[in-house]
Structure 1
Amino acid sequence: MTSGDPLVVLTLLLRGEREVFALRRDAQAAFRLLGLPHAETVRLTTVLSEVGRDLHGAPGLTGRLALVATEPPRVTVRFEWTGDATPSPDILHAAERLLDQCVWTPGERPALLLGQHLPPTSEPPAELAARARDELVGLSGVSMSEELRNQNHDLLAALQQARAHQEELQRLNTELEETNQGVVALYSELSKELEETNSGVVALYAELEEKTRQLSLVSESKTRFWANVSHELRSPVNAVIGLTRLLLGPGADPLTAEQRQQVALIAASGSTLLALVEELLDVAKAESGRLEPELVDTDLRSLLHQLRGTLRSTARPGVTLVIPDGAHGEPLVTDEVMLTRVLRNVLSNSLKYTETGEVRLAVGCENRSGRPWYVFTITDTGVGIPADQQERVFEEFYQVRGPHQRAVAGTGLGLPYARKLTELLGGRLSLASTLGEGTRVVVELPARTRSPLSGPAAAADADAGTAAGAGLDDEDGTGLPLLGSLVVIDDDPAFLATLRPVLSRLAHTVTEVADSAEAMAAVRRERPDAVLLDLSMSPPDGYQLLEHLARDRALASVPVVVLTATDHDGLDRSRLAHARAVLGKIHLTPGRLAGVLHRSSDGHRPQDGDRP
C-alpha cells in the first residue's frame, strides 16, 4: 500500500433516512477519533449529511469513510451510486467553500469525494484507521431523536462560538475606538468578519429548521400510514378471533381436546396481535395529537375482574398474580379502555420478567389538595431494571438487554404506551426498580368529571367507543324477542361467517348483500326491521348508501346500524347522522349487537301488509 492509498474506516449502504443518520453519527465519531478539530468536524458532517439527504433514493448509494496517508493526512468521505442522480449545485458550491477537497465525477458510476486535512500526528495512519474502525464497531443502533439532539448540540455549540466571537469583536472595536479612532481599515475588516460570522449563524439556524421540518414530515407520514392500513390490519385479525369463537362456542361441532387447545392458541395469538395493532395505532395517534380520552363512569370492580381473568393464564408456574376484587373511594370517571390498557401493559410486563414470587396490584384513593386521586401500584419480584436504564425503558421500541430477554417476546412499546395513555388521562406514571429484586410501577390518576357530549356524532362515537372497549356483556341476546327481518350489507366474507350464527338467533330472516350496488333494491324488497351496514365497500360505499336511505321517503324510517372495523377517530362523523348506532367490529359481542338492534328497531315493526 502506497502513502496515498485510502485506508477504509467505514462503508455504509444508504437505503434510507436511518442509514443517512447512521453515516452522520459514525462519521462524526470517526472524525473525533482521527483528531479532526471540532469546527471542521461540524462542517464536514453537515455537508455529508446534506449530500446523503440530497442523493437519498439513488440506486446503490454508498458512503465510504477513509483515511488518506498524505502529508498532512486527510480524511475523506466518498459517495458512489448508479443512475442519473446528480448532487444539487448549491450543495456542491457549499462543499467547495467549506471543505479542503470536493471532487464531483459524473459518469456511469457517479462519485462525489469530500475531504478535510487532519492535524499532523506521530501515530502511523494504519494504526489510527484501525483504532477508529474498532471504536465504531461498539456503537449502538441509530436513534433519530438522539441524532437530532446531537445535531442540535453541534449547532448550539456553533452558535455559542459565534456569539463569543461577536462579543470579542465588539470589545476590540470599543478598544480600538478608545485608543485610536483613526484605524478605520482595521475596524472595517473586523466588521466584515462579523458580518460573515452572522451569515454563518443564519445558515446554521436555517439548517436546523429544515431538519426539524423533515422529522415532522417523517412523523406525519408514519401516522398517515397507520391510519391508512388500520382497516386492512384489523379486519382479518377480527375475522380470526370471531371464527375461533365460533369453533369454541357451545353450539359448534365438538372438537377433540387437542383441537380445542390449538384453536384456543389461535384465538390467543389473534387477540395478542389485535392488541399490538391497536397499541401501534394509539401511539401514532398520540404523537400526532389525535388520541383523545372518552370519559365515562368506570366500574373498577368489573375492570379488575376482567384483568384478573385475562392475565392469570399468562403467569409462569410458581408466580402468583394478586389483583383485588375492587376499591373504595370516590367514583372514578375516566377512559375505561385506556385505563384497562395501561394496567394490562404494566401487569403483562411484570409477568414476563418474574420467574418466581408474585406480581401484585394494589388500588387506593387519596385526597390531594382537595381533589381525589386514584393510585394503582404494581409490584413484582422479577429481574429488576439497572438504574442507568430505568428512564430508557420509556423510549419506544427500547428493551433492556440481558440473558432474560432471549426467552421473552416483546416490542418495547408496553411501558412507553402506558405512560402516554396515563398522561392523556391527566395522570402520571413512575417507576422504581432494584436489579435482581423487582420493580414497582405507580400509576396516579385524578377522579375526573365527565366531559359533556352532545349531537348525533357524539352519540355515534359513544357507541363505537363502547363497542370497542373491554369487559362487554357476552350474553347471546336470546332472551330478547326475535326480529322479523334483517338486511346485512357487507362484502367481507370472513366477517359474515362470524356474524351469521349470531344473526340466526336474533331474526327470523337474514338477507346478506355483498354487492353494494344491489343494496337499495334489497332493502326496498325486504322492508327489514333493521339494516346492518359496513362503511368500507366498493362504490357506492357505506356513507353513500346511508345518504341514499336517508333521502328515500319509503326507506328513511328503516333503522340503520353501522358496523365498521375503522377506528372511530377515522370516521367522517358529519355523514353518520342517519345511523341509529355505530358499532366497532372489534370485540363485538352477541349481547351488545342484540341490545342495539332491539333499541334501534323499536317503533319500526312493519305489519304484514307493509311487506311486498
Structure 2
Amino acid sequence: MLTQLFQIALRNDRDVVQARQKAREIAASLGLDNQDQIRLATATSEMARNGFRYAHNAKVNFLVSLEPPKRIEVVVSDSGPGIRNLDEVLAGRYRSETGMGLGIIGTRRLMDEFEIVSSAEGTSVRMSKFAPNQGLSWNPNSIQEAVRTIQRRAPDDPFTEIERQNRELLKTLQELRSRQEELELLNRELEDTNRGVVALYAELDERADYLRRASELKTKFLSNVSHEFRTPLNSIVSLARLLLDRIDGELTPEQMRQVRYMESSARDLQEMVNDLLDLAKVEAGKIRMRPKRFDVHELFSALKGMLKPLLADNTSVDLLFEDASALAPLHTDEGKVSQILRNLISNALKFTPSGTVSVRARSIENRRVEFAVADTGIGIAPEHYETIFKEFSQVENPLQDRYRGTGLGLPLCRNLAMLLGGEIALQSELGRGSTFYLTIPSVYVGEAVSTEEGESLPAPEFHRMPVLYLEDNPSEAHYVEASLRETEFQPILASTVAQAELWTERHTPAAVLADVYVGEEQAWSFIDRIRDRNPGVPVIVTSAHNHARTAYDHGASSFLSKPIDRERLLSELRQLTPARGTRRLLIVDDNEVSRYVLRQLLSQPWLQISEVGNGTEALDALREGLPDAIILDLLMPDMSGFDILRTLRSRPETENLPVLIYTSKPLSDQERTQLENWGAAIVRKEDVSSRLSALPFLDWIRTSGINPQPSGEH
C-alpha cells in the first residue's frame, strides 16, 4: 500500500528546483545515505525537467510503501504528446539534437526500479529507491514526522540549490578520483599477486600429476595382483571340492579335516582378494553403478535365501526380516545395496552366539530409506567404533579366533554407501548387541539427466547442495559456475526452460537461480511451477532490468541485478538455505604439522576450517563465534585439552558443543572415562594417515547434530 507524501505541480523552473529539493529532503529524513540522496534528487530533477519542458500539466508525486520491499516512490506524469521512439530510447539507440533520451537512460541507472509508460495522452514515469536495512525504522509515525519536518522547512531559492548541486558534483568527482587511485593501486598489487599465483599453480599441477600417477600405479598394482591371485585360488578351491566329493577315492577322517581347512583358508583369501579389488575400483572411481527399480521385500527374500548356509552353522540364532511390502520401490543399484546388507548381516550372524538378528527398512525424510541390521551379539565398545571401519583392522575378541575375517568388509561397505549417496552409522553397547544403519536416497542421485539437445545435466552430489541456474548466456553461466565451484553449492546449468523442467522432474534443488529472459521465453511460468511443486525451495530471480516487484509477485525469495556480485550471491544462498550450509570446524593444536595434515585430509567444499595454536587462542575464538564442532589436542603449552574441555562443559552455550579429541597421548582408563563423560569422541593421531582414514572425521562433523548458523559471512 502506497502513502502519498507530497505533490508538486510543475508550472515553472522554480517548481522543478523545488521537486529536487523535496526529493533530497525526503531521502535524508528516511535514512538514505548521501549517495542515494543525490541519486534520488538527480533522477527526480531530470524527469521533472523533461515533463515541464516537453509537455504540459506536469506534476510530481512523492510516495512511500511500508510493505516489502519498502521503498520511496516518485511518479512524474504529464498530459503531453508522449515520447516518440520510446523503445529505441530505452534500448540506448536513439539520438536527438536536443539530447532527449540520454537523461532517461541515465535516470534508470540511478534508481532501483524504473518504469515509463508513454502514449498520445501523456507520459508517466514511476521510479523507486529501496529502503536501507529493509526499512527497519519505517512506520506510520516516522513517516508522518518526516512529512511535518519537511513542511516546516522553507524552500531554498534556486541559486542556493544550484550551489548545493555544484558542491555535490565536486564531492562526487573527488570520490571518483579517490576510487580511481585505489583501483590503480589494487591493480598493481594484483599483478604482483598473479605472478606468484601462476608459479604456485604450476607447482601444484606438477604435484597433482605426480599424485595422480602414484594413485594410478597403486590401483593398477592392486588390480593386477588381485586378478593374478584369483586363478590359483579358484584352482585350490576346485581341487579341494574334488577331494571332498571323493572323485578319486575315499579319504581318512584326518585327511577330510585337512582338506576342509585348505578349502576354508582358500575361500577366506579369495574373499580378501575380492574385497581388495572392489576397494581399488572404488578409490579409482571405476565402480559402475547400475540403478534399477526394485522392491525391498523382494531384496529381503533373496538375502534370506543367500544367508541360509550361515544359519545352518549356528542354529541358536534366528534371522528375522521385517515385512517391507508397504515400502515404496527404490531406484538405485540393487547389487550394491545387497552387497552392503549381506556383509552387515553375515557379520551380525558371526558375532551373535545366540539370540536374534533382525533386518528392517523404513522411509525417512528427504526421500531417503534407512536399513537397520540389529543383533543381540557381543557388541562393540565405543572406542572401537571407528577401528572396525579401517582397512585390515579387527577388534580382539574370543569369537574373532573362530571367525577370522579380512578386515576389509566394513570399509568397503562404507565406501559403497558413499557411492550410493548415503552413509553407514553404528549404535552399539558392549555385551548388548549392535545396530548398523544404512541410509541411502530412494532414487540414486548419480544419474545425469540427458536433454533432447544431446546435452547432459549432472546429478546432485551428495556432499553439496545443488543450485539450478536457468541462464542462456554462456558467459553469465560460466561466471556463476566459477563463483560456486569451491563452495558448498553445486551449480546445475540449464540453458532452456525445457532443460530446467526435465531436471526438476528427477531431482529437487536446494535453490533455483533463474534469469527472466531465456532465449525467446520468459521464466515466470517456470518459476510459478517451481513454487507450486516445491514451495520450500527458494527462488532467486536475476535480470539486467529491474523486475524486483514482478519477481516478488511470483513468489521469488530474492532478486539480484546483473551483473551478479559473487559475495551477494553466496550471501543470499547461504541465508536462504541455512540448515544445509557450510559447517564450521575449529582445530586446536599447538603442532603446526598436525594442523596442516588435518586441513589437507578434511578439505571439503562444505567445511570451513579455522585453527588456533593454543588454549588461550581457542577460548578467544569461541567468544567471537561458536563453530559447529571442535577437534582438540590434549597436550598444549598454556593449558591442556582437559582444561579447555572442562571450561566448555561448564558454560551453557558450549555444554553440548561436539568435541573430538585428536591426540598421541596414551590415555589411562580414568582419563578415557572422563573424556567420555564429557561427551568427547577420541581419535589417535597415529591412526590418521590417509583420505580413507579421514572419512570418520567427516562423518562425525556432518552428523554432529548442530545446524550451521544462517550467516552470509561463511
| TM norm structure 1 | 0.35
Greater RCO structure (CA 8 Å; 6+ sep): 1
The TM-score with structure 2 as length reference comes to: 0.31
Structure of greater Rg? 2
